[in-house]
């Protein structure tokens, strides 16, 4: 849940629930009811506070839609004490391939490559909670390619910067060609390239 904006919002998975929201009631809890503004999009339980702090569970029913959960006054149904925006997201799955790009011509080898298991846990924790997106991260694969092509012939020990306007992109193309073989099934690829040599 993101409570840094007003009203706060929460992502709820389609055909699932997210019990990560807590309602803090200050005052008369007997005058509060929890109501979904559109029960075809999302529902909420319990229907009323169980104490000063109540954990609410919001369930998503219609993908790609937004509604609001109200902490609504029972005595005056036109008044909301608080609101929680809800967005319902379908589950998306992605595959991540990690390549360690080695330029053996100039002995350029990345020294720091993320552990695939730790990266998968991190991505699924963060992206799963925020967007219902989950990843399968494959172990790293070493790829040998002479990418340090400029200036010719020996290279300069640095990967040419693709963000600089007018840059020669032949070095990036060399890496792309070796990590994107014909028929590749990877949907998202992370290429770790040593930009300044083996002491990086």
SS3 of the chain: the string is CECCCCCCEEEEEECCEEEEEEEECCCCHHHEEEEECCCCCEEEECCCCCCCEEEEEEEECCCCCEEEEEEEECCCCCCEEEEEEEEEECCEEEEEEEEEEEECCCCECCCCCCCHHHHHHHHHHHHHHHHCEEEEECCCEEEECCCCCCCCCCCCCCCCCCCCCCCCCHHHHHHHHHHCCCCCCCCEEEEEECCCCCCC
| pLDDT value of residue 197 | 39
Please report, for the chain, the start and end positions of each structural domain, with discontinuous segments joined by +. 9-89, 92-193
| pLDDT value of residue 105 | 85
| pLDDT value of residue 79 | 95
Positions in the chain short of pLDDT 50: 195-200
| pLDDT value of residue 34 | 97
Q: Provide the CATH topology of domain 9-89.
A: Immunoglobulin-like (2.60.40)
| pLDDT value of residue 26 | 85
């Amino acid at each position: 849940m993101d409570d840094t904006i007003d009203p706060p919002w929460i992502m709820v998975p389609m055909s699932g629930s997210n019990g990560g929201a807590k309602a803090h009631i200050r005052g008369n809890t007997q005058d509060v009811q929890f109501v979904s503004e559109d029960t075809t999009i999302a529902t909420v339980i319990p229907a009323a506070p169980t104490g000063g702090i109540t954990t609410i569970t919001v369930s998503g029913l219609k993908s790609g839609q937004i509604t609001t959960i109200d902490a609504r006054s029972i005595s005056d149904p036109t008044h909301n004490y608080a609101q929680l925006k809800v967005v319902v997201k379908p589950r998306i799955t992605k595959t991540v391939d990690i390549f360690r790009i080695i330029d053996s011509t100039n002995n350029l080898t990345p020294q720091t490559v993320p552990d695939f298991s730790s990266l998968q846990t991190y991505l699924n924790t963060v992206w799963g909670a925020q967007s219902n997106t989950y990843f399968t991260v494959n172990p790293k694969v070493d790829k040998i390619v002479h990418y340090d092509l400029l200036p010719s012939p020996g290279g300069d020990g640095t990967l040419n910067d693709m963000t600089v306007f007018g840059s020669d992109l032949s070095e990036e193309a060399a890496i792309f060609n070796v990590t994107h073989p014909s028929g590749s099934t990877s949907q998202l690829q992370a290429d770790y390239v040593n930009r300044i040599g083996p002491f990086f």
